[in-house]
Amino acid sequence: MYSDARLTMRLPGRDLSFVKEYARENGTTLTKLFLDFIQELRASVVPREAYPESVREMIGIIPQGDGDSLEDYHDYILEKYS
């Protein structure tokens, strides 16, 4: 289990004023806003392993094996379009 930790952030004054006013108007704190944001961010992240293999291939997250080097790809393209 994690213990609470302190965080110092630097924000442009305009943004800090906005978020303070937003928190006040919505009856919350800056800490609660930040925690809510982190929870939403964490919930929206899809583990790469959850993608279908075809998608993982398209976005390049399957580890490269033999025959998958950039040089092999260039050779393939040259052969295909020559």
Separation between Cα atoms, residue 55 and residue 58, nearest integer Å: 5
Residues with pLDDT less than 70, the chain: 1, 60-68
What pLDDT score does 64 carry? 55
What pLDDT score does 67 carry? 56
Separation between Cα atoms, residue 77 and residue 81, nearest integer Å: 6
Separation between Cα atoms, residue 62 and residue 54, nearest integer Å: 10
Question: In the 8-state DSSP scheme, what is residue 47?
Answer: P
What pLDDT score does 43 carry? 85
What pLDDT score does 2 carry? 76
What pLDDT score does 29 carry? 96
pTM of whole model > 0.75?
A: no
Q: Quick one: tokens of 50?
A: 């959850």
Q: Which residues of 67-77 are buried (b: 16+ CB within 10 A; e: fewer)?
A: eeeeeeeeeee
What pLDDT score does 65 carry? 59
Whose tokens are 């609470």? That residue is 4
